[in-house]
Structure 1
Amino acid sequence: MAKRKSMKGDSCPVARSLDIVGDRWALLIIRDAFDGVCRFGEFQRSLGVARNILADRLKTLVEEGILAIAPASDGTSYQEYILTPKGEGLFAVVIGLRQWGERHLFKRGERHSVLVKRASGKAVGPLEFRTRDGHSLEPGETRVKKVPTDTEADAEADV
């Protein structure tokens, strides 16, 4: 299988992010980590993924600082994978995917898992995006201000 092109140097934050978590197994591992899964065998049972693929994705997530390896919390000789603050920063991404799937991939009345707050058991509401000053934000109200290419930057400098 051909190695995919790295996006680590891309000027787009989405491209750089997808370079690390743009694989379904990576995002499912992160989802499970939010649900408290922390051991290799638990991830494998939950996901049904081949050991070599799981080992590779866990290694990448650790190298990228999304997961950290820690001694088992029960004192056994196992190790656990725990979300780092960088990994916890993916919470909105996982919630966004979940809510998009709830809206678009299930028929009306079709049963699916529900995200609830641990303490109250109440369902989590929809994600909302706001400007820094608190105003509601819709997709059509945004645009990406791109970094000029070297050629465009040179042309601007010549003006």
Structure 2
Amino acid sequence: MKRIMVGVAAILLATTGGVLFWQGHAESRASLPDAPAALGPTSARLFAATALPELPGAPEASQKTREQKRFHRVDKDDDGKITAAELLAPRQKAFAKLDADHNGALSFNEWAAKTIGKFQGADDDRSGWLTATEYAETAPKRKAHTRCSC
């Protein structure tokens, strides 16, 4: 029974190979169009004159400078003027996070809260100072740089 199955598989493979070979051979005999003649100086001028016209209604890219783009990012109401409120709005959120007692002023301890917390977290033995090993834990974590596969 095994011999019959192997024989049938061999016949099917041979038939498939023959069909693929026959189709590939037929495609290679298809005639290709002749190559175009080289353009002379007169033909090149005629070809340039018959170039496609500009598309009607195509939008043009704005040529804003970096400073104009930066200005328009801050000018939220697009009146052409930057008010103090528009300029300080992004900074107010960061200030509010630091102002722990919400009195509108930052004390040194409020301003240094993150650093104080980092020191206390690194001081494992609660000695009030950092050993070299404890200090090494306070180093900023570097982000892994992925290389471009360009």
Report the TM-score range of the alignment, normalised by the length of the smaller protein. Answer: under 0.3
Query: What TM-score comes out, normalization by structure 1 length?
Result: 0.21
**Larger helix fraction of residues:** 2
Query: What TM-score comes out, normalization by structure 2 length?
Result: 0.22
**Larger strand fraction of residues:** 1
